Amino acid sequence: MGAEVIVTTDGAAGRLRLNRPRALHALTTDMCTAIIDALEAWREEGDVGAVVLDHAEGRGFCAGGDIRMLADSGAGDGAAARAFFATEYRMNHRLFTYAKPTVAFMDGVTMGGGVGLAMPCRFRVATENTKFAMPETAIGLFPDVGGGWYLSRLPGRMGQFLALTGHRLNGAECLALGLATHYLPADGIEEAKRRIAADPQGIAAALDGLALSPPEAAIMGHREAIDRLFASDDLDEVFAALAGDGGEWASAQLATLRTRSPQSMKLSLKLLLDGATMATFEDEMRQEYAIATRIVQRHDFAEGVRAVIVDKDNAPRWNPATPEAVSDHLIDQIVAPLPDHEAWTPF
């Protein structure tokens, strides 16, 4: 089968290629470890001037994490899930703080854990194939891997909208929102990699030279509605605003939210509220790890995985079943810091 992360050097660039195509390159603990080890090896390696992240064959950059493993672990003692999150978040943090330039090619599905890989990179390349989303509320999780940091820093209430609904963005929309730094045609990617390998200090010029003017970003046409209808950090008020609007677009968003985990949605709003004022990305990851270790063992995650991934009936029975039933006390319990000996650390 070969390595699930292909680690090579190409000219003056280190290459990290995700290679789990049948799972859309969803991340395992071992894959995260391999990426960390390569980044560490290249940190002091003078011949490596930049790091490129992409995927081998298949239609996705990275669809997320190994959800079935997390659900199986969460149904037991949760140890494997904790190990995965600790390692994945160290990888996210290592990329965020990496001194050498990093480039992620988000060609295809870029969701969940894939967003966590791409967003810390200095250069983030979208294409006409990009499908970008944080869809965790549909399976009883939350937009982790730094979602509280990145989404809370998007313009207006766009981050809250994306976190609650799991809405998929295309490449042009990613560029318009600053989630991508460049928009390239997919058939220009290999030339971009060749130029990066030849001159890792000239990445910006290389990508600028190959970039296209993207199509219109449709999401920007809903910017006013998003800012108005998703204005509140109180989920009940968001539901009320959408219900009171009466328009077709608002009704469609309300219908989507009614299929999502109320616990996950309330948690997501809290995450972004806190994330907007986090002093460092390390602080963000520490809070997200505390949340992840708890939520993976709660009912909604097991039920969301059953409904969406295992049985595929798309009829989850959430508990609590409504936004009103999710108490602030419950959210505070899930978000509370872990004891020092259990807390996440970068190393």
- Say if CB 231 and CB 206 are below 8 A apart: no
Residue 72 a catalytic site member? no
User: In which residue are the tokens 């001037």 written?
Assistant: 49
Which of 88, 144, 173, 303 is catalytic? The answer is: 144
- Say if CB 21 and CB 57 are below 8 A apart: yes
* Selection from 91, 139, 203, 144 nearest residue 335 by Cα: 144
Q: Is the dihedral of CA 148, 204, 31, 260 positive or negative?
A: positive
User: In which residue are the tokens 């910006």 written?
Assistant: 204
Which of 66, 88, 136, 303 is catalytic? The answer is: 136
Cα 188 off chain centre by = 25
Which of 14, 60, 64, 113 is catalytic? The answer is: 113
Other CB atoms within 10 Å distance of the CB of residue 21 = 14
* Polymer length in residues for the chain: 347
Q: Which tokens sit at 24?
A: 């859309």
- CA gap 132, 258 in Å, rounded: 22
Q: Is the dihedral of CA 64, 222, 259, 277 positive or negative?
A: positive
> 153: left (phi > 0), else alpha (psi -120 to 50), else beta?
alpha
Residue 113 a catalytic site member? yes
Residue 65 a catalytic site member? yes
Strand 13-18 and strand 50-55: the pairing is parallel
Other CB atoms within 10 Å distance of the CB of residue 174 = 27
3-state secondary structure of 324: helix
Which of 14, 60, 64, 65 is catalytic? The answer is: 65
Residue 136 a catalytic site member? yes
Tell me the catalytic residues.
65, 113, 136, 144
